[in-house]
Structure formats: structure tokens, C-alpha cells
Amino acid sequence: MTAAESDHPVSVLLPGRRALLVRLSCPEGRRTALLDALNTYVDGLAEEPGTEVFVIAVDPDDESTVWLYEIFANEQAELDHRSSTGFAELMAALPALLDDPPAVLRSVPLRLSLQKAVLRETWVL
């Protein structure tokens, strides 16, 4: 494999997977507490092997909005996610941290492309 080939993005099809895009709106001054709760949840994701991707993003234009993007291996993995202890603890903590209920958009992801440099530069063990 040449150096140029090794820098090509990893691209995979995602048959059978499920995904969620979630918008969380918090009161002014509560975003740090919301991020703390989400990061605590992410630290326990080993409990959910079917949760393959979990991304937390802050809205660059709105201090009160946090976005989540989640990909599950299949429908059962999404159900397992909802019945996990960590998710139950997160759901118990969220009402005090949010202005409104989460807005959830369900989808079926078809393909994922990821630059290998992202893994090399940000790999965390």
C-alpha cells in the first residue's frame, strides 16, 4: 500500500443500523452541567456495545443548544441503549438541565466515511 492509499478515508456501508440526531436545549448557564452529565454517560458506553457512534457537539451559534448524533448496530442495539443503566441515569438527570424535552430525529444511516487522520490525531485509549 502506498502512502497516498493509506490516507484515503475509511468508507463503509451501514446496513441495518439505526441513528438518532438529538437536540438538547438548556437554560442559560447550564450547558457545562449538561455536558458533564453527557460525558459521564459516554464514559460508561462500554455497557452498550451496540452503540457504535456517539457524538456530542455544541452549537457554535447558540450557547443553549447541544447536539447528539448516535449510531446503533441494529434495532435491538437501540432498544438495549434505552434500557441501559447509564441511559436511565442520564434521563433522570436531564429534566433539571433542559428547558424543553429533547427533540429526536430518527434515521437509517446508509454510509460512513471517516478520514484516517481523525483517528491518528485524536485517538484516545
The domain segmentation of the chain, as residue ranges, is 14-122
- pTM of the predicted model as reported, rounded to 2 decimal places: 0.88
What CATH number is given for 14-122 in this structure? 3.30.70.100
Q: How many helices (H) and strands (E) does the chain have?
A: 5, 6
Cα–Cα dist 86/44, whole Å: 7
pLDDT tens, per residue, the chain with 125 residues: 555 556 788 899 999 999 999 999 999 999 999 999 999 999 999 999 999 999 999 999 999 999 999 999 999 999 999 999 999 999 999 999 999 999 999 999 999 998 888 777 766 54
Helices (H), the chain: 3-6, 31-43, 75-82, 85-93, 116-122
